[in-house]
Amino acid sequence: MAATVVAHLELDRPRCEGHGLCEEAAPDLMHLDDEGELVLDATDISEQDLEAARTAVRVCPVAALKLA
């Protein structure tokens, strides 16, 4: 059963510096690969994941993530 999508997560890749604080905030939604590049594992955000996504957006020191 598909959860309703309430927001989309966007990454401004050139801006991303690979700090990985977002991964610590939302490990189910994103991770850094072995090269330290950020991989979004989900971009369609459900109500259930919204708080984690918001926290990940907030914690990014270079504002590379956005919820739209």
Partner 1 sequence: MTAMHPSPSPSVGAPGRIVIVGHGIAGLTAGDTLRREGFSGELTVIGQEPHDPYSRPALSKAMLEDLSTPSPGAVTEIEAQYLAAPSEGATVHAGRSAVGLDPEAQTVLLDDGGVLAYDGLVITSGARARRFTDSPDEYTLRGLDDARALRQRLAGRPAVIVIGGGPLGMEVASAAREAGCEVTLVHRGQPMRRHVGDVLAGLCTSAARDRGLHLVDASVTRVHRDAPDGGLDIELSTGGTLRAEVIVSAIGDAPNDEWLADSGLLTDGRLLIDDWGIVAPGVVAAGDVAWRRSGPGIQRRALWTDAIEQAKVAAEALLHGRSASPASYAPYFWTEQFGLNLRICGEVPAEVTPTVVDGDLAESRAVLQWEDPTQGGAAAAVNFRIPIPKLRRLARPAPAAA
The number of CA neighbours under 13 Å toward the Cβ of 1 is 1
| Per-residue mark of binding to partner 1, 40-59 (x: CB under 8 A) | -----------x--xx-xxx
The DSSP symbol for 28 reads T
Binding segment (CB under 8 A) for partner 1, from list 3-11, 32-40, 41-49? 32-40
- Torsions phi, psi of 29, nearest 5? -105, -20
User: Six-digit token pair at 44?
Assistant: 């369609």
Residues contributing to the site for partner 1 (CB under 8 A): 15, 17-21, 23-24, 31-37, 51, 54-55, 57-59, 61-63, 66-67
